[in-house]
Amino acid sequence: MLKVVKVRLYPTNEQEISLAKSFGCARWFYNYVLNACIQHYEETGKSLKLSVYKAYLPQLKVEHPWLKEDCYSAVLQCVAINLNKAYTNFFEGRAKFPSSP
């Protein structure tokens, strides 16, 4: 038997700002990697692997310092994992093509 507990959070103003920054960084990275995947697939006919997604992070954090300051690295790594799962599901016929959030 599975149990579900619904919880409502009431973040402070500082927490709301921090969450908004994290969501923004995650959305930006998702769109960046999705675009890179589409370009790579058009050029080679192959999809990128999870290790390539994660390899973008250090370079992007140097180019865009706000990625390092505004959110935790685990947030961006989870984005890479989720996009990899979405691509895997698409190529195996279980889901539609991943779209921008």
Query: pLDDT 10s per residue in the chain (101 long)?
Result: 899 999 999 999 999 999 999 999 999 999 999 999 999 989 998 888 899 888 989 999 999 999 988 888 899 999 999 999 998 898 888 988 888 76
Residue 12 lies in a domain: no
Residue 11 lies in a domain: no
Residue 57 lies in a domain: yes
Residue 4 lies in a domain: no
**Whole-model pTM over 0.75:** yes
CA distances from 74 to 12, 28, 67, 71, 97 (A): 22, 15, 12, 8, 24
Domain of 75, in residue numbers: 18-91
Tokens of 65: 């310092």
Q: What total number of domains does the chain contain?
A: 1
Which residues lie below 8 Å from residue 87, measured CB to CB, with a gap of 6+? 37, 47, 48, 98
